[in-house]
Chain A
């Protein structure tokens, strides 16, 4: 197993109290596999990723429990320096907004080459040559000339390619992509996603794709983990979920995608708002918004029930949900 997150807990101390951002998340990624982590803002998907990368802002964040196994080694037990050597070289991260995630005052060549200088001890000149190669790889035209340019001189799509190039520079085993296409124009989104998928196949990387876009997920993911209020509420192979979701939240998400065949009908929307992480509802955290909620949902927190060998659902009524009956 490449990456295994087990029962991870993360909390944030804020002025108004403690926010439980991640409450017992478990998931795993194998080499060459793509896991899509799906969820609304504040569901804890990015915080989980930051904890895995070891770039959580501490304080205010704090990992209060769980294990993060990377090739069987618990990352949380490593020393800072050991952890640093893994970052960037063996696991890398692609951020959402390349314009702010790239350093505005350094040329892209410097920023790409830095990976080789720091992790491989290359000279600046060799590193520069590798930077050009990388830019070629991610299909940036005239790479040799543009290597001296600064991030603001590139278009959004090209900047995201540079972000990808930087993450893949040292051919890491695991890449975490945090909403890699959200900030891009719709037409460019597909290109960048295709590029990422191509490179992933080529290098046989494990990919964790954090997104709220179900359309992207269907195309590239092998399996899906749906997060809500800091928990995984459903995990399943991608095709199973699209066929028949086993959690009312997942169902709600799928129903709220506009579709051509239902044109003209009112779009479904999950009622209410996600809960505050300071005060997650008792029982099932989704119960105030759930159309299927019963009394038991307000008192008992559902465990992740095993739907089948590859699937899990944290819903007391996953059977009813799976078979399409609404309460």
Chain B
């Protein structure tokens, strides 16, 4: 196991370098970083040139990348458009997005798995058909549409929630945004659980469990669920990274000042360091989450052995 973790960590290195380099290149294609630094005014050529030298922007791109990564590893993520260190932005933005993601993941686990188990056990019945149709609709409605509609209904028409989230962004306020963020994944979790349950329900070992005279609830929880949830847990694990990266739309709709908001501002103001810094952290989260999922897999399924 230790050796496997080490190998996976080593494999992560090229992927990390590749993704950050890619985003670095993309951001540099995005526009002239200096243009953003002078604010609304046009930079005069002399100042621009000086700024370029100051930030090392006159050097080749790969050198800039190396310098930047060197700084990142000493904890220096550079400066945001408003002069604040990027790390300070992160310190306020990440907790908000993490809370949002936690809410979303909880929705996936509680609602998604419950619905999936219910429908998987009642395949072909009216409940199953209804939930299946519902998941199709949820998957088909893009997040920004469901977000706007929920905001309209719950926030504006019925006044159940505040249409935009306060800067504190507590868990209570994040319930609806979390549901919106989770919605598509939630539908996938439901469908995945349903398929998995339905498939395993017909498996030989479940038949054995019934033949052993086990009570129905024991057959389901101990034999059926345990096996069926392995792919679901994997999906949810991979989704952590995707949710944090995808929160940008939800955060924009509900005016949540999280990672997505800062990134959006960074892109609007063409601030290279903000964008690259945040994306670097997101990539790291994604990679570590994937590694953890792989390790968890071995715990859940003893047939998987890592050498």
A residues near B (Cβ < 8 Å) are 53, 55, 57, 84-89, 92-93, 95, 97, 100-107, 114-115, 118-119, 150, 152, 166
CB-defined contacts of A87 to chain B, threshold 8 Å = 210-213
CB-defined contacts of B215 to chain A, threshold 8 Å = 84, 118
**B212 contacts A166, C-beta separation under 8 Å:** yes
**B211 contacts A103, C-beta separation under 8 Å:** no
A101 to B204 CA separation, bound complex (whole angstroms): 5
B residues near A (Cβ < 8 Å) are 202-205, 207-215, 218, 222-223, 226-227, 230, 300-303
**B213 contacts A93, C-beta separation under 8 Å:** no
A170 to B214 CA separation, bound complex (whole angstroms): 13
CB-defined contacts of A104 to chain B, threshold 8 Å = 205, 227, 301-303
Q: How far is the CB of B162 from chain A (nearest CB, A)?
A: 45
CB contact between B212 and one of A57, A114, A150, A152 (< 8 Å): that residue: A114
Q: How far is the CB of A136 from chain B (nearest CB, A)?
A: 20
CB contact between A115 and one of B203, B212, B222, B302 (< 8 Å): that residue: B212
A53 to B213 CA separation, bound complex (whole angstroms): 10
**A150 contacts B302, C-beta separation under 8 Å:** yes
**B205 contacts A118, C-beta separation under 8 Å:** no
Q: Which residue in chain B gives the minimum CB-CB distance to A107?
A: B302
Contact residues of B: prevailing secondary structure: helix
**A93 contacts B211, C-beta separation under 8 Å:** yes
**A88 contacts B227, C-beta separation under 8 Å:** no
A150 to B300 CA separation, bound complex (whole angstroms): 12
A118 with B303: in contact, given A101-B207, A103-B208 (CB under 8 Å)?
A: no
Task: List 14 additional contacts besides A53-B211, A101-B204, A118-B213; criterion CB under 8 Å.
Answer: A55-B210, A55-B211, A57-B202, A84-B215, A86-B213, A87-B211, A92-B212, A95-B207, A105-B300, A114-B222, A115-B212, A150-B302, A150-B303, A152-B302
A144 to B230 CA separation, bound complex (whole angstroms): 29
A40 to B224 CA separation, bound complex (whole angstroms): 31
**A119 contacts B203, C-beta separation under 8 Å:** no
Q: Which residue in chain B gives the minimum CB-CB distance to A102?
A: B205
A115 to B209 CA separation, bound complex (whole angstroms): 10
Q: Which residue in chain B gives the minimum CB-CB distance to A172?
A: B213
CB-defined contacts of A53 to chain B, threshold 8 Å = 211
Instruction: Determine which residue in A85, A105, A115, A166 has the highest number of CB atoms from chain B within 10 A of its CB, and name it.
Output: A105
**B205 contacts A101, C-beta separation under 8 Å:** yes
Instruction: Determine which residue in A87, A104, A107, A152 has the highest number of CB atoms from chain B within 10 A of its CB, and name it.
Output: A104
CB-defined contacts of A101 to chain B, threshold 8 Å = 204-205, 207-208
A100 to B207 CA separation, bound complex (whole angstroms): 10
Q: Which residue in chain B gives the minimum CB-CB distance to A97?
A: B204
**B212 contacts A88, C-beta separation under 8 Å:** yes
CB contact between A119 and one of B202, B204, B213, B301 (< 8 Å): that residue: B213
CB-defined contacts of A93 to chain B, threshold 8 Å = 208, 211
A118 with B227: in contact, given A55-B207, A105-B300, A150-B303 (CB under 8 Å)?
A: no
Can you give 15 contacting A-B residue pairs, CB < 8 Å? A53-B211, A86-B213, A93-B211, A95-B204, A95-B207, A100-B203, A102-B205, A103-B227, A104-B303, A105-B226, A105-B303, A106-B223, A118-B212, A118-B213, A118-B218
